[in-house]
Structure 1
Amino acid sequence: MISNLVKAGLTRRTFLQSSAVTAISAGLPGAAFAADKTIKIGFLAPLTGAVAAWGKPGLDGCQIWAERVNAAGGIKLGDDSYTVELVSYDNEYDPAKARTGATKLIREDGVSFIMMLGGDTWPGVQPVADRTGMLFSTLLPSDLSPDTATLFAPTEVHPIYLVTGVEWLAENRPELKTAVMCAQDDALGLPSVATYLAAFEAAGIEMLDEPLLFDPATTDFAPVVTRLLSKNPDIVCLDTCYSDYVHPIAEQLFQQGFTGQIISATADFYDQMIAKTSKEFMEGFIFQFPDFDDPALNGDNINFEDPNGFYATYNERHPGQWGAVSWEYASIMDLWKAAAEKAGSAAPDAVAAAMKEGGTGNHAFGDAKWWGTELFGIDNALVGDWPVVVIQDGKAVIKGFRSIPDWYDKHGDLLVKHMQAYDQMWDQRS
């Protein structure tokens, strides 16, 4: 499957300028630190290829985060201050390359922490984590299991945040009663399918057909959309499709005359979708990742420093490249920094213990709790509120924050049922 994905040669290339292996220093010139007082952080994610939209923008965001931290005095461990240096490795969303990258980052580069996208690449890395005790993060809690003691999901709680978008849709568009769904058949798509099915069932929205699972190597989406629309649905769900899929699917929906509701995990580079379709077509598109200039991110509940300024800097340096992960890895680093300073150490075990102390943490969108035993077999996911985002007049707008734990308390049995049906529970995956 992975080889097919890479061979497909999909089109998300416009912003990908990195080499396969890059080491990037985020320290500012002239910063007053001793040369040996540096903490290295590993970034192990796809920087090229079809899944790069969930890797490279995150690395760019981390560089901005590191510059801010270093300019403010760095990481304070006891009486000493340390600069932060990011060391990245392009795993191309390939498990074998991810394993090679993890080994290099630990043995050769001496990193103290490694951030990953996760998904299909985590099984390649897990033996390295088990052997070394290195602390890793993933954006996909579906990677978690009782065997992943050093793996944390501290920012994105994919796929369970997806329930918040469906819940909001059902309350605000109660006239919409039927849905269809498509997704790529992989470790990102399948748990999302199960989650959307649970959310639609909880909301009383009827699925008109089984989810349409397509090969990740697919490049022609006209037949996919034709089949979806043959059922005449009120809602088309794009699951957690990659940007290279969401864009052509949206274009096909437009060309084939769909005028109903679209809901998706992401809408990265939505301005490009508007340009290929129309502002009217994209009006009301529901997804889960805000632009950080949104006024709703200036509330007291937000645990991300100066989101508006971060967004402005990001877009100045990387125009047109803001996406779902642009802020997420930086938010993970906020949690890691706070835990390291609390522990007075960058050692993986010390940081992990400090991060989970008290069972709660400062998630980007508010206070959250370490959770997951029921679904993942381990409480290593930081779960709380998540925003629902809607495109209005060509701009992403946060419509509110919804509680994932509250939804799960009411409908958790449905999520478990559908996860089991798709073999996505931790005991089935392992």
Structure 2
Amino acid sequence: MSARLEAQFAFLLEADKLRSVERQNLILDCSRRENSAEHSWHLALYALVLAPFAAPEVDVFRAIRMLLLHDLVEIDAGDHPITDEVDWEAVAKAEQAAAKRLFGLLPADQCAEFLDLWHEFEAAESRDAQFAKRVDHCQPIFQTLYGAAPLDWHIDVVRQNLFGGRAAALEQNLPEAFHHALSLLGEDTGYDCSRLSARLPFLNEADKLKLVTRASKLGDGSRHENSAEHSWHIMLYAWVLSEHSCGQVEVDRVLQMLLLHDLVEIDAGDAPIHGVIDPVALTALAAEELAAADRLFGLLPPDHGTPMRAIWEEFEAAESPDAVFAKSIDRVQPVLLNLLNGGGSWVDYDVSLPQLDARVGGKVSRGAPEVWTYVRAQVETWFREAGRL
């Protein structure tokens, strides 16, 4: 089992590098370029919110899985904006090689699963993949058109993309998105886009999660992670490590919990597990998060926002097998990052091994005891060498 976990963590830690891949698009406040990890998280959220626009036969959660992993090849092959003059055949070959290397880090059965799903997305022939592709085409368009101060040439790229580019297919496959984009460009066609426009305020507000800085640093220690890319990373963790759950879990429900769980930080901020330990402060924080959930999920139509709010509440309660496992995964990912970057938040907050066992170990063990047994052995070595036992 340890060999299997070693392979799984090798993949998950390599996936961390996707956060260093910058895209052409700016985040919604236009303060910086978006990275491919937080982009993948936002696409997963788009897919969940735009589920009512999918054909009845589409498995939205298969599409979400495609979107979680579709850009991982950029770790090796890089991002290539549609406006670049590139050899697309060479790019395709580089991405194929990247997929084999990256997914090849996983145990053989998971490697095959991930490769098949990635190839299905690239081929865009199945209904699930076609829905995922539509989502991938929509998000950059609306992120630009709703941007606080979009660059003129970015607007031009959107226009070109809609007329003759990849997004032109939206006119037939997701007409509400196509016509709403035209309206934002000042070319209102009179098409009824109200079902879509009622959901975009939530998706646009969710973009602010990319601005919430966490205590944990990236594996290379270059900067602190943000809550959007963290959510993407732990969704991958949950997917890969689900077999180690101590109870029977529905992986797609776990993924939905982790997709949504940190949205309240947009209003309430991040609360580092080693930083906020006072009971009074924790009670006040819980009240802020409840108010944030009211506001944020209230931006959606009730028939959509209410079930999503219920999933968030289930995660917070941590009583169902799905929520217990999701909580354990949320706790274990920063541990691995700290091991990579020389201690990270353990150094910042002067954490001892007994404190880590109490604050993190118990929660991880509750949902995934085999995972904590494996990780704990590495953790003890680090704390011993650092003199923090």
The verdict on a shared fold, with TM-score over 0.5 as the criterion, is no
Question: Which has more strand, going by share of residues?
Answer: 1
TM-score (norm 2): 0.31
Question: Which has more helix, going by share of residues?
Answer: 2
TM-score (norm 1): 0.29
